[in-house]
Amino acid sequence: MNAPIRTQAETVEQRLLLAANQQLESVFQRDSDPCVALLISRNYHLLIQQYPSLSARLSWVQKAKYWWQQYLNLSTGKRKKMMPNIHYEEWLFKRIDTVA
């Protein structure tokens, strides 16, 4: 990914979120886990709330959307692979017979 945007007035929390995302992105490159993508997206959303600069916030919005999309792609794909042949109508509304 691109290098994070740096400003002179970054707080400790902002630097920690940026460092955490760098680590999480390297973990994601090794093992494409949807939970990691979700954490990265969440951290970018936290950065959006902390930066007063509009250009910085727009950059974090784009990155948060990218990682959210990665999460969606991976999480729905795994769910489809786990249960490929289930008919949801039958599964959710299965008729229960009672013994008389």
State residue 36's pLDDT score.
Answer: 95
| Maximal CA-CA distance, the chain | 77
State residue 30's pLDDT score.
Answer: 94
Contact 28, 37 (CB under 8 A): yes
Question: Which residue numbers in the chain have pLDDT < 70?
Answer: 1-9, 77-100
What lies within 8 Å, CB to CB, of 92 at 6+ separation is none
Residue that is written with structure tokens 């949801």 in the block = 88
Task: Kindly state the helix (H) or strand (E) to which residue 91 belongs, with its residue range.
Answer: helix 88-92
CB hemisphere CA count around 77 (13 angstroms):
9
pTM of the model: 0.66
If one counts every other C-beta atom within 10 angstroms of the C-beta of residue 45, the result is: 16
State residue 91's pLDDT score.
Answer: 44
